[in-house]
Structure 1
């Protein structure tokens, strides 16, 4: 039996759900409550509370309280530090300066391309959408075989911002090689590896330091929160510079 893992929520009545929500919202107090305390808090009868206890699989209220307390403590232990994903130490000391420099490049660019694969590709879409909302011509590329060199052949003043946790993805490196000596395209990167090829290929590298996590060898579960953090800071700085430029 598990209260928080109860699977038949759809079978609970409105009265049952009122009791369930009250218990969830007062999980620290429930182990010390009586039946009538829960009934009063959920605005139901004592008998409704007992019917609920039986319905979710417990034979008595004391059995429920002991089980609930143990389950709640287990959850608290498993949730410890779950939101402490990043701190300021995850970024280099000059990250704000580099953000300002990259934003300045984006400010006058004719095309802003966010380039990434997998999870980084999803963030690239987010970044390009936000940049477009700010009034800049931006699009995302998630496919390393996308004909980007052909699309930008007759353009100038382009900025490509590559997103890559490892900074070592071969397919991305092959695409970026087409722009290394381009006078019309400036490259920057957001990566978790300052020494990586992708970081070294661009003019600027916005870097962060976070442990890389993989499962089953190929699946990357490394947090993308630092990347999103940098993206939001970059877009905010871009917006601020745009506003400052338009001021008389």
Structure 2
């Protein structure tokens, strides 16, 4: 069998063949090795390993290792590496829910996007997207920000809160002052559909994604489902705006 797509074995020296046999027999180990590790284990020189790699068509040692890692014989294949999101990450009726929320957001006068940590960055990203399609929006990533005074003399407001766990105490406290406010509605985008923030909200768009943390405070949870929902909302509102403009132009 020809590995690496290489077939011209007649061009390989005896040293090359020694390296070839070692690499093909230890593929899964080689992807974690350095040049000198391969050389030592194959009983050849470092320069011999590099000459072999170039001879079989790779521009660098890293390109060679990348090929090994993504080949079909290694468990960590591209199909698994890039399987970030599927329909299974969302409730069955997520599209209907998003349509309702998009209509509601489009008719609002002020949109506050709220989040902390990684969710704060997503809140900022979404706020910018909303502003790009002409919505009046502000991002808040500081849980001590005086949000109630800011919205005191306003109406038809929306607070869109991003939280993977839906249980962040600071966000819960910030939202608590608006739960019974007739001029402000709360939209939650969270990975926990039964969380405190989801239950406090007027609308909750949830997704299924395991919460991942290291050292308690370092959040490695994927934000891709939240971005997916936000991008969907932007797309829906953009279509609604275009439809409205078309109607106005006809009149």
Does TM-score exceed 0.5, indicating one fold? yes
CA distance in 2, matches of 1:106, 1:189: 13
Task: Show the 5 A alignment for 1:235-246.
Answer: 235-246=234-245
- Please report how far the alpha carbon of residue 59 of structure 1 lies from its aligned counterpart in structure 2 after TM superposition: 2.7
Q: Of the candidates 74, 78, 87, which is equivalent to residue 76 of structure 2?
A: 78
Aligned to 2:32: none
Would the alpha carbon gap of residues 71 and 130 (structure 1) be closer, same or farther in structure 2, given more than 3 Å must change? closer
Q: For structure 2, which runs of at least 5 residues remain unmatched after alignment?
A: 12-34, 36-45
CA distance in 1, matches of 2:245, 2:64: 59
The answer as to whether partners of 2:191 and 2:209 remain within 8 angstroms in 1 is yes
Aligned to 1:223: 222
- Please report how far the alpha carbon of residue 241 of structure 1 lies from its aligned counterpart in structure 2 after TM superposition: 1.5
| 2:115 equivalent to 1:116 | yes
CA distance in 1, matches of 2:163, 2:120: 9
Aligned to 2:167: 168
Aligned to 2:128: 129
Task: Show the 5 A alignment for 1:78-117.
Answer: 78-80=76-78, 81-117=80-116
What's the secondary structure of 2:186's corresponding residue? strand
The normalised TM-score by structure 2 is: 0.73
Q: Once the two structures are superposed, what CA deviation does each residue of 1:157-179 show, in whole Å capped at 9, x if it has no partner? A: 10111000000000000000010
Aligned to 1:59: 48
Would the alpha carbon gap of residues 134 and 35 (structure 1) be closer, same or farther in structure 2, given more than 3 Å must change? farther
Would the alpha carbon gap of residues 33 and 116 (structure 1) be closer, same or farther in structure 2, given more than 3 Å must change? farther
CA distance in 2, matches of 1:104, 1:173: 25
Q: For structure 1, which runs of at least 5 residues remain unmatched after alignment?
A: 1-26, 37-52
What's the secondary structure of 2:48's corresponding residue? coil
- Please report how far the alpha carbon of residue 71 of structure 1 lies from its aligned counterpart in structure 2 after TM superposition: 6.5
Would the alpha carbon gap of residues 229 and 33 (structure 1) be closer, same or farther in structure 2, given more than 3 Å must change? farther
Number of residue pairs aligned between Structure 1 and Structure 2: 204
Aligned to 2:153: 154
The answer as to whether partners of 2:113 and 2:139 remain within 8 angstroms in 1 is yes
CA distance in 2, matches of 1:217, 1:110: 38
CA distance in 2, matches of 1:206, 1:78: 32
CA distance in 2, matches of 1:71, 1:238: 41
What's the secondary structure of 2:155's corresponding residue? coil
What's the secondary structure of 2:185's corresponding residue? strand
What's the secondary structure of 1:78's corresponding residue? coil
CA distance in 2, matches of 1:104, 1:195: 24
CA distance in 2, matches of 1:152, 1:210: 33
Would the alpha carbon gap of residues 69 and 244 (structure 1) be closer, same or farther in structure 2, given more than 3 Å must change? closer
* Worse-matched range after superposition: 71-80 or 178-187: 71-80
Aligned to 1:17: none
Aligned-residue Cα RMSD (Å) equals 2.9
Would the alpha carbon gap of residues 29 and 63 (structure 1) be closer, same or farther in structure 2, given more than 3 Å must change? closer
| 2:5 equivalent to 1:29 | yes
Would the alpha carbon gap of residues 161 and 28 (structure 1) be closer, same or farther in structure 2, given more than 3 Å must change? farther
